[in-house]
Homo-oligomer: A and B are copies of this chain.
Amino acid sequence: MAKIIGRALVPLALLACAPLTVPYAHADEGMWTMDNLPIKQMEERYHFTPSKEWIERVTKASTRLALGCSASFVSADGLVMTNHHCANECLQQLSDKTHNYFQDGYSAKNAAAEQRCPAMELNQLDSITDVTDRVQTALKGKEGEAYTKARQAEESAIEKECAGSDAKAWRCDVISLYHGGRIALYKYRRYQDVRMVMAPDQNAAFFGGDPDNFNFPRYDLDMAFLRVYDNGKPAKVSAYLPFDGAGPKAGQLVFTSGNPGSTEREVPLADLEFSRNISVPFVIDNYSALNGALWQYSRESAAHHQEAQERVFGIENSLKVYRGRVSVLADPKLLTAKAKSEAELRDWINADPSRKATYGDPWAKNAQALAVKRRIFKPYAMLEGSFGIQGELFSYASLLVRAANERQKPDGERLSAYHDGRLPALEAELGSTAPVYPDLEKTELAFSLTKLRQILGADDDNVKLVLGKSAPDELAVELVNGTKLADPKVRLALWKGGAKAIEASQDPMIVLARKVEPVARALRKQMDDDVLAPSRQATEAMAKARFAMKGMTSYPDATFTQRLSFGQVKGWDENGKEVAPFTYFSGLYDRATGSDPFKLSKPWVDAKNHLNMQTPFDFASTNDIIGGNSGSPVIDAQGHAVGLIFDGNIHSLGGDFYYDESTNRAVAVDSAAILESLKSVYKNQALANELVTGHL
């Protein structure tokens, strides 16, 4: 399912402004913050009241992978459960000419054999603090550039105070909830030594591949186990979820605790129209073309197939999400309801001069912001948003160039990604030993430069700046052959050398990034000052007016921070056909064709006669989740892990905009399937034991 990845496929700023508060919640709807759980709803619907201990354990045992995805501790010795697709990148990075862990799976013989993931960080939530008053005071009366700067400065100060002198150990993020209605400081414990313990083969983890993605019934063992280390030893963690290998029952109350990335349930109508008319078609057009190019690239050789695999997975997954958005945004129900609700709010404001004075005309303000966004959208996407110059190498180069600039400034004046507290993660990223594939780099670079010229036009000054008189393919070859940035030592030397080293560098990729930087930065500034600042003010005013009109009784839109959802194990009615909530091992064998992506790996073929075919495999539940929830544990009323979220059904794609309990379903691996496959398919008794006992 949709995960949020670090070097985001889509810069979030492009897609929609930050969301408004949802005025009311019903049914099993909601992605609730841990400090504001829907106690009353849970009681009414499920006669369940969580104890303080339950909340505390679930909070601390739920974790987040910094580059995207959710996860949980499932043993006292730092064992982490997440999805195979959340560990893709690490599996690929650990692979070499003789091992394809991504495809064949991974299994460390013992703790000593667990290899470190080159670019993975895990965050454990430590505390949430309200900082609403402090931030709102700092922003009061400010507009445009002044607003952007004040916000940067205040957030930086808060984050710095929070992390203290040990930014390597703590990560602090100021998060706007309820679109500024509440601003909270999230403090995380960072684990940067994360090692690979076990992952099944890709055929089992992603059985059915892209065709089955977001579908159900489903037969995926989309799991991976990692372990966090502390000073070179398996970390002793403060909380974990006891693993219950029996799995849940149909109708049972279950929870998910994870980090939904973003939702747009209360963005204004005009923003949805912008998405429908401009940003969603743009993204689909670009990703589909790149997907086609990499599809063909992957057919060229086994090596190319392996190199592109993880990237293809990410793009296909995003494409499904965006195609889902096309369908939902084409549904007149959504837009009509939104128009009606905004008209009510507008009437309510306009009915009273004092309200008009308080809230102004936020729609007019938002429309102005969108007019700017419409004008700069394409150059922003191509030059600041990475669509125009793709590939790992340029991405490293532009990170180095921008970081060198930003680090010269006082912390409070920097873009938020470059605050002192974030630097260790950037350094770790630059030091990653993950391989860079020259053929793939040339392909992605040539592809994106072709797109750059196509979309902005051959006469565009910035296109001329980038291409000069070269053809995209020529320039791509020249840059990839000429740069030394594939070497992490070279990158780290440039990082440490700072602005002087960057200025002096003759590396062609750095030279290009230096040329692009002023243009990209100017676009970023326009986006921040003339789009995001006023649009945030506008949607904040709408949210406040709505609170005043209807009260504040719900959950905030998703922000890639920890949320709890409640629901039950349940199928749904698909056009008159009942879809059962569980699949079983037997169904996997029925569905297998022998051909990719419906091919069984050898361990599963060999295990066929020894398996309990009635073992529940995957299940559907009514939990309200979204991309970023991948890897979330499914938890029962005892606070035990009974499943592992890895997807939603096709109707869950509408979850970006609304939750429909009748059809929206989360999809998880059953804990019974996890245990049985570890024992009988992968013969990993040690890991099975650790899950059952909670200790190494």
Q: Are A446 and B299 in contact (CB under 8 A)?
A: yes
Pick the interface stretch among A14-22, A188-196, A451-459: A451-459
Distance in angstroms between the alpha carbons of A288 and B210 in the assembled complex:
18
Q: Are A595 and B469 in contact (CB under 8 A)?
A: yes
| Given A281-B281, A469-B593, A447 contacting B211 (CB threshold 8 A) | no
Asked if A60 lies at the interface with its beta carbon under 8 angstroms from chain B, I say no
Distance in angstroms between the alpha carbons of A503 and B387 in the assembled complex:
51
| Given A211-B457, A278-B330, A284-B284, A289 contacting B295 (CB threshold 8 A) | yes
Pick the interface stretch among A340-348, A470-478, A523-531, A640-648: A470-478
Neighbouring B residues of A300 by C-beta, 8 Å: 300
Interface residues on A, range: 35 or more
What is the CB-to-nearest-CB distance from A518 to chain B, in angstroms, rounded to a whole number? 23
Neighbouring B residues of A469 by C-beta, 8 Å: 593-595
Asked if A212 lies at the interface with its beta carbon under 8 angstroms from chain B, I say yes
Neighbouring B residues of A547 by C-beta, 8 Å: none
Distance in angstroms between the alpha carbons of A294 and B292 in the assembled complex:
8
Distance in angstroms between the alpha carbons of A307 and B498 in the assembled complex:
49
Query: Which of A570-606 touch B at CB < 8 Å?
Result: 593-598
Q: Are B295 and A458 in contact (CB under 8 A)?
A: no
Distance in angstroms between the alpha carbons of A290 and B443 in the assembled complex:
16
Neighbouring B residues of A598 by C-beta, 8 Å: 458
Neighbouring B residues of A326 by C-beta, 8 Å: 277, 281
Distance in angstroms between the alpha carbons of A458 and B286 in the assembled complex:
25
Neighbouring B residues of A210 by C-beta, 8 Å: 454
Chain B residue at minimum C-beta to C-beta distance from A296: B296
Distance in angstroms between the alpha carbons of A401 and B180 in the assembled complex:
64
Distance in angstroms between the alpha carbons of A284 and B280 in the assembled complex:
12
Chain B residue at minimum C-beta to C-beta distance from A208: B458
Q: Are A295 and B450 in contact (CB under 8 A)?
A: yes
Contact with B along A421-453 (1 / 0, CB 8 A): 000000000000000000000010011001001
The 7 closest A-B pairs by CB, nearest first: A292-B292, A277-B330, A471-B595, A289-B292, A292-B293, A288-B288, A296-B296
Could you pull out 28 A-B pairs where Cβ atoms are within 8 angstroms?
A: A211-B453, A211-B457, A215-B458, A276-B330, A278-B330, A281-B326, A284-B284, A284-B285, A284-B288, A285-B285, A285-B323, A286-B288, A288-B289, A289-B289, A289-B292, A289-B295, A291-B292, A293-B295, A295-B447, A296-B296, A296-B447, A299-B443, A299-B473, A300-B300, A469-B594, A470-B593, A471-B595, A474-B595
